[in-house]
Amino acid sequence: MPPSVIRPWGFVRRSTAATAAVVGLVAYFLALIVATDGAGSGFAAWSATVGVAVVAALWRGRRRSWRGRLVPLLPVLVAAALTLSVCVPTVPTTRRYPPDLAFVTTEHWRLPTGSQVAVYHYPPTGDSPRHRVPLVYLNGGPVRGISLLDHHFLQRLAGQGYDVYAYEQAGGGRSGLLPMDQYSITRSVRDLGAFVGELGEGPVDVLGFSSGAAVLTRALADPTTAAHLRRAVIAEPGPMDGPTAAIAGQKGRPSAGGIAPATAGPRSTHAPRYAVAFGLMRLGLLSPDNGLIEQAEGDNAFTAADLGSDTASAYCAQDAHRIPVEDTAGNFSFSAAASLRIQQTVRDSPSIASELRHSRTPAMLMIAECSSQVRQWETTILANDPAIQRTQYMPGVGHHMWNGLDDNDQRAAAVITAFLQDEPAPLPDYPTPADIPAFLRDHK
């Protein structure tokens, strides 16, 4: 082979070997991150990786000149720099709470459970008759701030004479953090009961949405908490227990997930540290209480754009190119670690079906046509709660049923208020328990 060919080939071979060494060291570092659960902000894995790599590089170059000994160290330096970026925070490591909203006062209540929650109160307004029973809203998340879209919907309900209270569950929004091992679906139910007790106004109506609806469902199965509930609106619930969470069922009509334009704005996952941390947590390879990033730092880092695909899946496919901005960067808050922790406690929980069958609290189930939720999460509740008096299948909307588009807020409010006032339903009672087999068979 001519020298003119040998030289480029040698360069390619050396470059390939160096690249493979860098990739191998990064993979080794990630394996150590998993093995150590991110101990010491990742520096335990980084130190071990660099130490092993330096020793190996020096061993390889032991018979070379002093300059030749430096060559094997170059991939080590590159890998060390890349992996170091996973260990260094780029956002504050103490919690930075969203500023207060201009249109509603943020109150901070310390519940008997020990949770400190941010509370928002919308007194009845407008010319509608005043309703004496308070309405409590449980947002989704599980550990997420209440979006501006939701605040606007709560204002609409207050404008129809309802005395509306909402609180951000522990760890979400402006509410105080809990130690990671204290987040659980059981704690969420206890907090609901404690919040209603702190209101001190007797039984209340509760509107629970998404994971908030799952909390409400479990509250209905708990006689102590259910005793404080007059009526319950279960809107697009998540799984109520472990057996339900294990169901790999069907979803509703096509959503905008995967077809909507990418959400604008910065993403924490563009930074190596948070891409690795959130990615490994989502895969279950890092625990929510890992040592790589603490809860406060993760909350500060996570942005609305990081939830882009999940946000899109909450809308119908036909709305893919007009998905509203649900929140501002200043108000958005989501705790990925605490949410994963609560979801895990749901998956680990035993069935509550037998307890739910004893529920006597009048309830309504709301199901979206383009729901991204597993249908069996909804139909399992319908089949096991004998106190569900009506089901409202909401046409033309996705998981986030009140979203500011067209007349969606008006239709959702009409369904909710009709049930709370025991008035005729705006929509047919569908599906009923008897309709469940056909409802699932027809992929509604």
Give residue for tokens 């030289």: 7
The pLDDT-based confidence of 324 (bands split at 50, 70, 90) is very high
The pLDDT-based confidence of 344 (bands split at 50, 70, 90) is very high
The pLDDT-based confidence of 5 (bands split at 50, 70, 90) is very low
Q: What average pLDDT does the structure give for the chain? A: 92
The answer on pLDDT for 72 being more than 80 is: no
The pLDDT-based confidence of 1 (bands split at 50, 70, 90) is very low
pLDDT of residue 322: 95
The structure tokens listed for 402 are 């009140």
* Region 403-432 average pLDDT: 97
The pLDDT-based confidence of 182 (bands split at 50, 70, 90) is very high
Report cis status (omega within 30 of 0) of the bond before 223.
no
pLDDT of residue 71: 62
Instruction: Encode pLDDT of 310-323 as tens digits.
Output: 899 999 999 999 99
C-alpha separations of 380 from 187, 232, 323, 343, 354 in Å: 23, 16, 30, 18, 12
Q: How many CB atoms lie within 10 A of CB 428?
A: 11
pLDDT of residue 12: 56
The answer on pLDDT for 171 being more than 80 is: yes
pLDDT of residue 74: 83
The structure tokens listed for 88 are 């260094």
| 397: nearest Cα among 325, 315, 326 | 315
The pLDDT-based confidence of 69 (bands split at 50, 70, 90) is low
Dist. CA 125–CA 145, nearest whole Å: 24
* Region 25-53 average pLDDT: 93
* Region 381-386 average pLDDT: 98
